[in-house]
Amino acid sequence: MSRAILVACISSVSLAQAAESTLCTANEIPIFSCKLKNMKTVSICAYPHAGRGYVDYRFGTKSKVELTYSANANFPGQKFHRGEVTYANNSDEMIWFTNGKYRYSVYSPIRGGPGLTVSLHGEFISRLECDDSGRGATEALSTASPFIVEHGTGDLTTFEKLWGDQ
């Protein structure tokens, strides 16, 4: 089998796995999506259409989405945040939002598996890891989104202070 055909086959398998592990529609860009070890799926989906764009968080199954959070023109105070948290031997690309007293964060580390954490008043209450079929981050938005606040790169102390301010 030629190398080009092998790459095409691997890409097709990866796309099929990604389609199975997302709650995004065909018109949306999955910024992050994975099937969790508890058999639920977590997805952050973007629809970058001028004037009607949005970014949505969805948690649950294809038959029953249990939690949604949306940032769009109708909810100007609701935003997602994105940054890279650096540690001594690793770093996490993270996207998070706050909903009342809760902070929901999806993460994709350089080493280790991606997943979802939920915090209440800054204390972790749940950590759900993705299963082996997905790697979390699937695609980045090619342009800036008015619904995602970019925070760049920083150490954990920088982000803990930021999380405390939200």
Distance CA 41, CA 32 (A): 10
Nearest to 93 by CA among 37, 55, 136: 136
- pLDDT for 104 equals 95
How many structural domains are present in the chain?
A: 1
For residue 32 the two structure tokens come to 């992050």
pLDDT band at 139 (very low <50, low <70, confident <90, very high): low
DSSP string, 71-104: EETT-TT--EEEEEEE-SS-EEEEEEEEETTEEE
Contacts of 134 (CB under 8 A, 6+ apart): 17, 18, 21, 33, 34, 35, 114
Q: What is the pLDDT of residue 2?
A: 34
Instruction: Tell me the pLDDT band of 134, cut-offs 50, 70 and 90.
Output: low
The radius of gyration of the chain's CA atoms, rounded to the nearest angstrom, is 16
d(CA 18, CA 4): 21
The whole model's pTM is what?
0.81
Quick one: tokens of 107?
């993460």
Question: pLDDT (tens digit, 9 = 90+) per residue, 86-105?
Answer: 888 888 889 999 999 999 99
Q: Which domain, by its residues, includes 152?
A: 3-165
Provide the residue type at 62 as one letter: K
**In the predicted model, what is the mean pLDDT of residues 136-142?**
59
Q: Which residue has the higher pLDDT, 141 or 66?
A: 66
Residue 26: φ, ψ to 5°:
-65, -25
Q: Report the length, in residues, of the chain.
A: 166
Q: Which amino acid is at 57?
A: Y
User: What percent of the chain shows pLDDT beyond 90?
Assistant: 40
SS3 142: coil
